[in-house]
């Protein structure tokens, strides 16, 4: 089942709306709380549908069954980009391809994998506004933006320092099917780049979301794609994912230096935010080739002009507190 933008926190949700009807596995109908402090002239009920694929959701939108499509696959962007209902919004995320514990003692292999990707080509393929190879963080959070650049000569030199047994091994890259066609397209592109540029054999391993998360928690694979939706729009919310004790530290990084940077960033928040420490933390991850960042993430959506008063923030929370029908 596809996830939806978060409508509200539970507390706010009970203030603004009430559940009018809930059909398990199909839809929820919300009606406005008449006692909520924000008043609108033309209040409307909101019907939230549970849709099992992006293609099905798009067909519903095209036939008038949806007024808001929360994710438009990149293959459809050229068709819709010039239309008035096309929307691209930057999201506070930290999506990455991670190198698991099996590659912890293979820095040259990680370097080769990181520098052998033509990131400008991937940016074009995904119609992305942010460049893959750079962190997903908003530029305002960093003093400077550390990035990987495509460097095939250096990548091949690094690979030559890797033992023959490791170079000839058949690896696998795991990812969640919940990411949809765009994630599969990204992994397929990476697989081909590594084969053509480095001669490495890497298989694609799509998995159901629950199975995938279980694997990451207990047996992190050598290569995996992970989407990270942060709970607050700060650098710390993204960087602390790789702190030694953090439950979702799936690359199993154990670094006193990195943990110290995280502690400094927490201290920053109590005093004054420091772009410098954020840059140092992200640079540490890239300098040691611990992850491949996927660039600043922009969600591509479609919305009819039938409603006004809605807002989607960078935490992927859909605020409908002032929603009303356009008359």
CATH number at residue 20: 3.40.190.10
Please, where are the H alpha helices in the chain?
A: 10-16, 54-62, 77-80, 107-115, 119-125, 152-160, 164-168, 180-198, 209-218, 235-239, 256-270, 275-287
Residue 283 in tokens: 């640079």
- The pLDDT, as a whole number, for residue 10 is 34
pLDDT tens profile 197-210: 999 999 999 999 99
Q: What is the total count of domains within the chain? A: 2
Percent of the chain's residues with pLDDT above 90: 67
Say yes or no: 57 and 102 in one domain: no
Say if 4 falls within a structural domain.
no
Residue 2 lies in a domain: no
Mean per-residue pLDDT for 63-71?
Answer: 92
- Whether residue 238 is predicted with pLDDT greater than 50 in this model: the reply is yes
Q: How far is CA 254 from the centre of its chain?
A: 24
Same domain, 289 and 212: yes
For β-strands 324-325 and 318-319, DSSP reports them as unpaired
- Whether residue 230 lies inside any domain: the answer is yes
| 101 and 155 fall within a common domain | yes
pLDDT of 7 reads 38
Please check whether residues 145 and 217 belong to one and the same domain. Answer: yes
CA angle 82, 309, 178 (to 5 degrees): 60
Query: Is residue 141 located within the same domain as residue 288?
Result: yes
Q: Is residue 1 part of a domain?
A: no
Q: Are residues 120 and 201 in the same domain?
A: yes
Task: Assess whether 232 and 311 both reside in one domain.
Answer: no
What 8-state DSSP symbol labels residue 250?
Answer: T
- Domain residues for the domain of 78 are 10-90+299-325
Percent of the chain, pLDDT > 70?
94
* pLDDT at site 299: 87
Tell me what the mean pLDDT of segment 219-235 comes to: 93
Q: What sign does the CA torsion over 38, 41, 45, 49 have?
A: negative
Query: Do 71 and 128 fall within a single domain?
Result: no
Average pLDDT across the chain, whole number: 90
pLDDT beyond 90 at 215: yes
């Amino acid at each position: 089942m596809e996830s939806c933008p978060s409508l509200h926190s539970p507390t706010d949700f009970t203030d603004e709306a009430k559940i009018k009807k809930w059909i398990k596995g199909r839809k929820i109908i919300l009606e406005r709380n008449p006692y909520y402090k924000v008043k609108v002239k033309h209040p409307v009920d909101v019907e939230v549908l549970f849709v099992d694929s992006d293609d099905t959701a798009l067909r519903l939108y095209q036939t008038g069954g949806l007024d808001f499509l929360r994710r438009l696959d990149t293959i459809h962007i050229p068709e819709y980009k010039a239309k008035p209902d096309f929307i691209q919004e930057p999201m506070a995320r930290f999506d990455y391809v991670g190198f698991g514990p099996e590659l912890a003692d293979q820095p040259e292999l990680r370097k080769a994998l990181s520098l052998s990707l033509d990131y400008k080509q991937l940016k074009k393929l995904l119609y992305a506004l942010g460049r893959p190879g750079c962190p997903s963080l908003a530029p305002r959070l960093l003093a400077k933006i550390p990035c990987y650049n495509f460097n095939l000569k250096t990548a091949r030199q690094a690979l030559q320092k890797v033992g023959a047994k490791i170079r000839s091994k058949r690896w696998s890259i795991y990812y969640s099917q919940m990411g949809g066609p765009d994630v599969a397209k990204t992994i397929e592109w990476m697989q081909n780049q590594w084969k053509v540029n480095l001669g490495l054999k890497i298989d694609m391993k799509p998995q159901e979301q629950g199975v995938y998360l279980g694997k990451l928690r207990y047996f992190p694979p050598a290569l995996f794609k992970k989407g990270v939706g942060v709970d607050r729009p700060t650098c710390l919310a993204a960087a602390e994912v790789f702190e030694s004790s953090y439950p979702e530290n799936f690359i199993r990084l154990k670094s006193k230096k990195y943990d110290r940077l995280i502690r400094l960033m927490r201290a920053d928040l109590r005093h004054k935010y420091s772009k410098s420490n954020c840059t140092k933390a992200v640079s540490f991850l890239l300098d040691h080739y611990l992850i491949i960042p996927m660039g600043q993430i922009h969600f591509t959506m479609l919305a009819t002009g039938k409603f006004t008063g809605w807002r989607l923030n960078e935490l992927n929370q859909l605020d409908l507190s002032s929603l009303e029908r356009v008359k």
